[in-house]
Every structure is written in structure tokens, then in C-alpha cells.
Amino acid sequence: MFKNLTNKGLAVALLQLSFGINYFFHGVVRLPKLSKFVAGMQAGFSETLLPELFVTPLAYIIPFAEIAIGALLIINKFAKQTIIAAFVLMNILVVGSCFAENWANVGLQTTYIGFLFLLLFFLSEKEA
């Protein structure tokens, strides 16, 4: 699988695999306690300007989006589209963190966005 890759190609493939594992298990661990995750999100945003009308559906969607993004990154299918979906998810999370004034999370999420940029930038056009 990795033996014919250049060092750059191997680095990108391993970063993509690592991000896939990260996203996948972020979602997987939330599924058994989905109601608790949603309630936590609702509580976390209750004192913000972000209406529960937006928070609740997104809280239900996020774990499934993480699992889908993670699985597709792991199996290296639709890499370009999956990385773009990850960008969208991360930007939604940044907006939420800004509403909650959770600047530490914004910083961490922006770091994810930076690595997603690198993944997309160095993704081979034949893989995209």
C-alpha cells in the first residue's frame, strides 16, 4: 500500500490516515452516549446568541459526519471531497466556538484547518 510512495507521498498518506483515525473515533465514541453529547452541546450554548434550533440538529449530525469523514480518509476514497467536507465541519465548529467565546477551542480547530490545508495542498491530483 505505501511501498511505492515517495517520502512526500508517504507523509501525506500517513497524515491522511492519522486524521481519518482521529475523526472516525471522535464520532464513534460519541454514538453510545449521543443523547448526553447533544445535551452537553445544548447546555454549552445555552448562554450564547446561537439558538438551540441550530445547536440541536448539528449536535446530532456532528458524530455521524465525523465517522463518515474519518472512514473515507482512512480508506482513501474521494479524498479531495472528504477533505473539503472536513473543512466545512471544522469551520462550523469554529463558528460555534466563537459564539461560545471558547478561544482555546478556536485555536485548536484552526490548527486542524491548517493540517487540512496541508493535506489538500499536497494531495496528489491523481488521488483527488
Residues 74-104: pLDDT tens digits? 999 999 999 999 999 999 999 999 999 999 9
Residue of 103, 89, 93, 110 whose CA lies nearest to 50: 93
Regions of the chain with pLDDT less than 50: none
* Residue 27 pLDDT: 98
Tell me if 64 sits within 8 A of 27, measured CB to CB.
yes
Say what the pTM is.
0.92
Alpha carbon distance 128, 60 (integer Å): 29
Alpha carbon distance 74, 28 (integer Å): 14
